[in-house]
């Protein structure tokens, strides 16, 4: 397994770990943002992280049929884990702000589905994916992500999250911003607010 320190070095080397004032797709504010798209744009560097996550998934989830990834962040890691574990992988995408299955994708009734994301903060996107699984009369086996930056206070997911690494980064509601964040310009890097 890849150590936490080596993983952080890879995140920094690929500019996947950013500092500033960010509004996350959950609506929470943070001084750090993990942009896994930057990490995954270097397959030769992210390969070790993907392999580590695939091993953890295989150990935790003995049997599942399908990987469902929320667009856009989950598409590349979903594909890579599907390739490594030899599983069919599909993604959902937002249509008027709501996740839908398009492009001929569907979830078979009674199939066992694993949701994979790049980063989980509150689990809101993952929980939106659960609705698609339920609607298809399939079974959710669990959740996985490259980075788990959730806290018990903000997490909407009640099941265990399998992640390559856990990173604790404080998040704040708009009304409770610390002074150092109030004085910084805001960046909105996520995709949930884009229609």
- Integer Cα distance of 170 and 62 in angstroms: 33
For residue 195, the model assigns a pLDDT of 36
* Contact between 120 and 148 (Cβ < 8 Å): yes
**13, two tokens:** 């080397």
Q: Where do runs of H (alpha helix) occur along the chain?
A: 4-13, 36-40, 43-60, 73-85, 124-135, 179-182
| 181 belongs to a structural domain | no
**128, two tokens:** 């939106």
| 115 belongs to a structural domain | yes
| Domain membership of residue 159 as a residue range | 4-9+35-167
| 194 belongs to a structural domain | no
| 25 belongs to a structural domain | no
Provide the domain count of the chain: 1
| 85 belongs to a structural domain | yes
| 178 belongs to a structural domain | no
**138, two tokens:** 């399939």
| 191 belongs to a structural domain | no
Q: What is the DSSP letter of 16?
A: -
Full pLDDT tens readout for the chain, 195 residues? 788 899 999 999 999 998 899 998 778 899 988 889 999 999 999 999 999 999 999 999 999 999 999 998 899 999 999 999 999 999 999 999 899 999 999 999 999 999 999 999 888 899 999 999 999 999 999 999 999 988 887 788 888 899 999 998 888 999 999 999 999 999 888 654 443
What DSSP string runs through 140-169? EEEEEEEEE---TTT----S-EEEEEE---
CATH number at residue 43: 3.40.50.2020
| 160 belongs to a structural domain | yes
């Amino acid at each position: 397994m890849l150590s936490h320190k080596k993983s952080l070095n890879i995140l920094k080397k690929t500019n996947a770990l950013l500092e500033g004032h960010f509004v996350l797709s959950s609506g929470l504010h943070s001084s750090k943002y993990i942009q896994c798209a930057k990490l995954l744009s270097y397959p030769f560097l992210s390969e070790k992280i993907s392999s580590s996550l695939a091993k953890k998934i295989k150990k935790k989830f003995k049997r599942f049929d399908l990987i469902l990834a929320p667009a856009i962040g989950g598409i590349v890691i979903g594909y890579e884990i599907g390739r490594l574990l030899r599983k069919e992988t599909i993604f959902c995408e937002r249509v008027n702000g709501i996740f839908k299955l398009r492009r001929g994708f569907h979830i078979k009734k009674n199939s066992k589905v694993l949701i994979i994301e790049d980063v989980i903060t509150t689990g809101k996107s993952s929980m939106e994916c659960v609705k698609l699984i339920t609607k298809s009369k399939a079974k959710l086996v669990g959740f996985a992500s490259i980075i788990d930056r959730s806290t018990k206070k903000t997490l909407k997911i009640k099941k265990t999250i399998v992640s390559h690494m856990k990173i604790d980064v404080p998040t704040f509601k708009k009304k409770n911003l610390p002074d150092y964040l109030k004085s910084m310009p805001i960046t909105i890097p996520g995709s949930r607010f884009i229609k």
